[in-house]
Chains A and B, each alone.
Chain A
Amino acid sequence: MEHIDFSLVDWSRAQFALTAMYHWLFVPLTLGLSFIIAFMETLYFRTGNPEWKRMTKFWMSLFGVNFAIGVATGIILEFEFGTNWSNYSWFVGDIFGAPLAIEGIMAFFLESTFIAVMFFGWNKVSKKFHLVSTWLVAIGSNLSALWILVANAWMQYPTGMRFNPDTARNEMVNFWDVLFSPVAINKFLHTVLSAYILAAVFVVGVSAWFLLKNREHLFARKSIKVAAIFGLAASFLTIVTGDGSARNMAKYQPMKFAAMENLYVGQESAPLVAIGLLKEDQKEVNHKKQDFRFEIEIPSMLSYMAFLDLKAYVPGIKDLVHGNPERNILSFKEKSEKGKIAIQSLADFRNAKKAKNDSLAKNSLTKFEVNYPYFGYGYYAGRDEHELIPNIPLTFYSFRIMVGLGFHFIALFLVVLILTLKDKIEKKRFILYTALWTIPLAYIASELGWIVAEAGRQPWVIQDILPTIAAVSQIKPASVQITFWLFFILFTGLLIAEIKILTSQIKKGPAPESSEN
């Protein structure tokens, strides 16, 4: 009899995806805009030019509208680890809880305290204190990103921990390994940098709209300059960290890498498919195999991307599922057998301890420890191993669209910056329209990045150690369905409100100088 309630697992996943994706609609703008505002206020502080203050206040008002809904959608995520992933909360809570608590103590209070000064302190505190507060809001919001991304990176690459069979959970043994794991650092940088790009695109796009409407020329040109420089710097660094992400993925999550590239059979000097269209392989539908309808390849590039070596061997989906003894790759079947032994040895160990049978406990423990790296695969014992393959088209296309849009943003920043510096931007209406319509594209690129990261690592909640099917809370699927739809309606309503308010605020434009003091 099937012991996994897939309806429960799927709805729990859907709910988490829904809330995370909604949350991520608002976070990147907060992360990036907070710095852009801080730059502008710094320029005001240095030059005393009231135009900079006007700009600071205008972008700050948009920041406020966006920040509120980011907070609203964020609280759900923290508690969802408990409400919908209760097994997970116990199994790795000893490690995962710490960054969440530190995020609260270190970052959220910093943000919420100084945001009040930022909005209400204009005429009450000194200029310097106000500027410091604005910077602290930016630092606070980015610090909160650090901690939650450290937590996420740890799920992708669990390190600094040891499984304690007495408590039946993973326990932290090295905090610094968790904080400074290569995946964590790279993930943090890549994510916040991409957020800065989104914020820069937003500022450039909104400023372009003012120019299209023949309003606020000085304001718009200055805003474009600040944002385009910020966006360009962030873009180049995003390429560097993106490259790092790919290498981390190839090393620690080879299946995610193979799926993202749709590399079915592993090879040396593997080419990178720059552009490709997929079609389902009719003979092997059950195996989730995808063929290429057409593709444009860059020779050996994938090997280089993964291992900095043009000739390196990159394992494919088939090698990972069915094993490749020549390359020392175990098949999923072998791994799930080992995982099953690990899980059974854990049960034997605990029973032996209860019965005070020390020698059996010791033997079981040894067996458990040898097989623990495959623990999560044990939950797939006897199941179809193809369940362990993530959604290939979803990750394949998401990755390519994200990268393509990334290059589009760079080109846009370069063009608008040069045109603004040459004082020609107002006349280039096509460029201004492009800038405006790039705003939604930035959001799409940002969400796609998370789809690659999260859909690509399925079915793992903790890579190789805990799959989604063993991480959920045992509640009625109907309950999760109801909350899913509640959140859907609630968040969609709030999103509509946010967009309407934002567009009204933008149309209203920055406050006239006379009201500034």
Chain B
Amino acid sequence: MFETFSHILLQQYWWIIVSLLGAILVFLMFVQGGQTLIYTIGKTEDERTVLVNLLGRKWEFTFTTLVTFGGAFFASFPLFYSTSFGGAYWVWMLILIAFVVQAVSYEYRQKPNNFLGQRTYETLLFINGLLGTILIGTAVATFFTGSEFSVDKMNLTRITGSQMPVISEWKGLANGLEAAFNLQNLSLGLAVFFLARVLGLLYFMNRLRNAPMMERVRKQLLYNAIPFVVFFLTFVIWLMLSSGFAVDPATGIVSMETFKYFHNLIAMPVVAILLLLGVAMVLVGIIRPLTCFVKCGTKGIWLSGTGTILTVFSLFLLAGFNNTAYYPSTFDLQSSLTIQNSSSSHYTLTAMSYVSLMVPFVIAYIWYAWRSIDIKKIDIEEIKTESHVY
């Protein structure tokens, strides 16, 4: 089946898959958001343990999605992997370290003789929630704002002279950290941070059965929703007004186009609808529990979560579709990465497309397993009777 697809069709198919994985990842970062709220919502030791255990049953999905997002990006667009990871070294390294410390913190937190102490592991969870969300948001923002790098495959043939035979060179001063000092990037980073917290709160609402904690959750929902909306709107409005990186489909030449992302939205009405629908769902998911708490308070995570997926998905499509360079270089426009010039070969994309057919099956068993262990809502008493506790 996939063999008959054209290369560009496969490239688009894989951009959609990568975008979807990225979108699901942002939704699942409710775990990270929740981690930054353990002390805000949990006022006693027992309460904090309940929260950690609620998040602890989901952290691996987020982690695995991140790893799979990386693997899928590598397999489908290896030039991005090569250019961005090898160049924006410090941003990615800090993100990685933030996730390394998360992976052990749940399991080790309450174990006797755990060397660093419970408080340290809780702090590490906080760091993961803070750095992981802000830096991933910032890094994704560079898909629109660009970075300074050059790519020249001829460099491979440098066997004399004074320069290394490396195809990509990063020109940014701080190997990627400079992106965090750009206000537009930072506004997306902070939007992701507050969104993750909002989603974390909605997840707590959905799973908790403890009145005083629920009251705190509700209050925090409002406190975090406001900055989220402010930062997100700042980013989106800025994006709609800014110039973007257009690709000439015939020659592959990249040039600046004013209002490029706004034009993309007009040119792809489906994406525009998805974006608007996504944003609306996120907002309704937040507002409903704030206004009619008792009656319709606990399903917000599904509405806002789905909305998050649609919103992030459409942002990725804005970055890569409609002849746009998704990883632009402001140092050398022609080094910018597009889904055509950075992708894997037709053969590899075809093979990987067959593998992608497993994804619905994977989602189905995750859903089944998730539901089978999440039947009851949780309070302190349930945690105390569990044989495996974080």
Contacts and interface: CB of A to CB of B under 8 A. Distances in A.
B101 A172 contact: no
B154 A105 contact: no
A1 B113 CA distance: 55
B192 to A, nearest CB: 19
Contacts of A104: 64, 67-68, 70-72
A344 B156 CA distance: 10
A65 B386 CA distance: 17
Contacts of B365: 110, 113
Given A5-B164, A121-B372, A497 B104 contact: yes
Contacts of A93: 74-75, 78-79, 81-82, 344
A356 to B, nearest CB: 15
Nearest to A178: B351
Interface stretch (A95-103, A284-292, A421-429): A95-103
A94 B346 CA distance: 10
A67 B388 CA distance: 14
Contacts of A61: 388
A87 B165 contact: yes
A81 B81 contact: yes
B163 A172 contact: no
A180 interface: no
A70 to B, nearest CB: 9
Given A82-B84, A171-B347, A496-B115, A474 B71 contact: no
A3 interface: yes
B348 interface: yes
Interface in B88-115: 89-90, 92-93, 96-97, 99-104, 106-108, 111-115
Residue of A116, A347, A382, A483 with most partner-chain B CB within 10 A: A116
Residue of A65, A75, A117, A475 with most partner-chain B CB within 10 A: A75
A106 B64 CA distance: 11
B169 interface: yes
B81 A105 contact: no
A464 B314 CA distance: 44
A69 B386 contact: no
Given A93-B81, A108-B68, A501-B114, A343 B159 contact: yes
Contacts of A474: 86, 164, 166, 168-170
A100 B388 contact: no
Contacts, number: 310
Nearest to A64: B107
A505 interface: yes
A500 B164 CA distance: 45
A385 to B, nearest CB: 15
Interface in B145-164: 153-154, 156-164
A486 interface: yes
A133 B87 CA distance: 41
Contact of B111 (A65, A95, A124, A472): A65
A96 B81 CA distance: 12
A493 B70 contact: no
A5 B99 CA distance: 30
Interface in B282-314: none
A363 interface: no
B87 A86 contact: yes
A89 interface: yes
Interface string A485-504: 01000100110111011011
Interface residues of B, number: 83
A490 B97 contact: yes
Contacts of A102: 71, 75, 352, 355
Given A97-B75, A501-B112, A116 B57 contact: yes
B113 A72 contact: no
A493 B359 CA distance: 37
Given A71-B103, A75-B100, A168-B156, A97 B76 contact: yes
Main secondary structure on A side of the interface with B:
helix
Interface in A93-143: 93-98, 100-106, 108-117, 119-122, 124-125, 129, 133
A345 B156 CA distance: 12
Given A83-B86, A470-B156, A501 B164 contact: no
A90 interface: yes
B85 A82 contact: yes
A433 interface: no
A430 interface: no
Contacts of A81: 74, 81, 85
Contacts of A486: 93, 97
Contacts of B387: 57, 122, 511, 515
B106 to A, nearest CB: 7
B207 to A, nearest CB: 13
A171 B348 contact: yes
B57 A470 contact: no
A500 B112 CA distance: 9
A172 B349 CA distance: 10
B332 interface: no
Given A3-B158, A75-B63, A112-B64, A86 B85 contact: yes
Interface in A156-193: 164, 167-169, 171-173, 175
A96 B160 CA distance: 28
B358 interface: yes
Contacts of A106: 355, 358
A413 interface: no
Contact of B352 (A98, A171, A501): A98
A86 B369 contact: no
Contacts of A4: 164
22 contacts: A3-B159, A4-B164, A68-B108, A81-B74, A82-B70, A82-B82, A91-B156, A101-B68, A101-B74, A101-B75, A105-B359, A108-B64, A112-B63, A113-B366, A113-B370, A117-B372, A120-B57, A343-B157, A381-B159, A470-B165, A497-B114, A500-B115
Closest 4 CB pairs of A and B: A86-B86, A93-B78, A82-B85, A104-B68
Given A100-B71, A501-B112, 9 more contacts: A3-B164, A64-B107, A82-B74, A82-B86, A110-B362, A113-B370, A116-B57, A133-B369, A378-B159
Interface of A: 1-5, 8, 57, 61, 64-65, 67-69, 71-76, 78-79, 81-91, 93-98, 100-106, 108-117, 119-122, 124-125, 129, 133, 164, 167-169, 171-173, 175, 340, 343-344, 346-347, 350, 378-379, 381-382, 470, 472-476, 479, 483, 486, 490, 493-494, 496-498, 500-501, 503-505, 508, 511, 515
